[in-house]
Structure 1
Amino acid sequence: MVIKMKKSLFLVVIIVIFMLAGCGSKNKRMEELALEVEKTAPAQGMYDAGSMEESGETGSMALKSEDALSNEVRNVSEGRKLIRNVDMSVETEQFDSLMKKIPEKVEELGGYTENLNTSGTMLSNENKRKQGSIIARIPADHLDSFVEEVEGFSNVYRKNEWVEDVTLQYVDAESRKRSLEIELERLLELMGQAQNIESVIAIETRLSEIRYELENYGSQLRVFDNLIEYSTVTINIEEVQRLTPKKEEGAFKRISQGFLTSIDNIGYGLKEGAIGFLIILPYLFIMGIFAGAVILIIVWGVRKARKKGWGVGLLKGKEKKRRGKEGE
């Protein structure tokens, strides 16, 4: 009976040690078991030489695991974990062609298009300039070559690139995950040695907590890996009639460029005016017919009145009335 009690208390002590070596979270039940060990062990002299040796071996194994973990963390920190992002605004005279070329190039480099949006292409708004945006995920190793390709396809008038260093967050999440995995292995070993229901319940409770935390850290690391391996490129595309000059030109060049732009604007205005006139021409035709009919009716009425002498009789009546007033 005494031997069984020794083994049970020894298992409880080992569980408490591994809980403290984990992520630092404490279970209320484990604290109660630890207090019981502190109260009973000194009074009854529970530990014999064999138990002390076994405990020393366990502590040595934990120290070795911590040393291995520290070495692993140092190795990970040697390679920086960088997230690269690029935001570009471009203009083009061939909007539809560019909206096809960019996704094709993304796929060619091993990336994928995360979002693609266009506007101004509806028939009812065909006079509106076309605009679009593309969010692409490009393998980090091919990011520079992809940006160069886009610059060759279009006229880039704004580009912003920034890098986010997540090395510390990555190493922290990875080290915590590894520490939990070690604790999980030890607890599974202890589960097979548990002698009473209280030890089993305590171990299962901690195992559930560890599995939940492992899932969270695993998800966080997967997100980091995706952002690191695939850079995010956002491209805003605008259709223009004439590309914006990339550099400052001389006075003559600027005058000629402005003159050509003015000619283009005049031509565009005349074209749009002619299109608008043709659009409203049926309405003008109907309104012209209606106005012409009203005018014809008025002219016909006036001519008819003149034929019947209504106008002359009316004038004679007014003249007689005026003379009568003068005679009085």
Structure 2
Amino acid sequence: MTKREGQNESTKRKEITMSQNHYRVAIIGAGVMGQRMIEAIAKHPQYDVAAICDASESRAQETAERAGNAAWYTDAIRLLDNEDVDLIYLAVPPKFHHPIALAALSRNKHLLCEKPLANSIEEAEDMLAAAKAAGVIHAMHFPIYYQSLLPVMQERLRELGEIRRIDILTHFHQWPRPWQQVPWLAGREQGGFIREVLPHFIHLTYALFGDLQVIRSHVQYPPDPLACETGISAYLELADGTPVTVNGLANIAHQEHLDYRVYGTEGTFSLVNWTNLHMGGQNEAPQRLEIPLHERLIQLLDEFALAMEGKKARLVPFEVGVKVQRILEDLRG
């Protein structure tokens, strides 16, 4: 992080701390991401968890107790009807985003949604239209965007010279991963690593370089018609024609490995396994850059608070979520 970026972040944190506004949050979906958001809210002075909703009654109740005896529900519509909240955090599986989001937006609630935005491009566009009509703050959670790595990548991009190619590699020994053993992630309807992992790198490409399009894509599926993909090979292009390749495989004899690599005429940088940024010039072995990492969910909550107060904020709106959704659908064919 540069000195200027550090100063800007410090100024924002001071601005947030000085604000007297306080926000009540409803968490809809108490799985892994819901739990992480609850932990982040507990550390943030401007937010409280007011209500929890999950399809599992026991998990909803237990989570609500740990979150400070918040109200709990198994029906999202009942929560929306009964609770006075400012912000909805939507962390349910993708096929449930659309109906719950429309219900929240019809009640003029600010909405923070997990990726992908929806389970189809039609649903994503519908959610965007509803958010615009409601006139509320709408944003998506793309973790890399709220991490200190992205500003460094954006600043040092110029050192690479003319960009020649971008390679995205996603290899998994097991899918779903051991810590993600839920049926929907293994299913073709809404699971698979294309929907779960590739949105991060599609959005990163958009954040660094702008629009892109799928030229061709080949997806491998197992014999079971209900099971998600096991592989993908795809070729995309940036608006200027720069090639972007996708190489994804699951259930292989290989440790999980993720690599987002940008090749330029003067250098290369590579984001490995989410948080390790490597960079090297011509005839140099790439070296890992020591970049202090901050809590990305705290950063996201900071930005959302600024937006709710009518101030300039750095968020990923649903408009961008629709762009990512379109690429996902084109990749899946």
Category of TM-score, reference length = shorter chain: under 0.3
Relative contact order higher in (CA < 8 Å, ≥ 6 apart): 1
TM-score by length of 1: 0.17
Which protein has the bigger strand share? 2
Q: TM-score, normalised by structure 2?
A: 0.17
Instruction: Find the structure with the greater CA-based Rg.
Output: 1
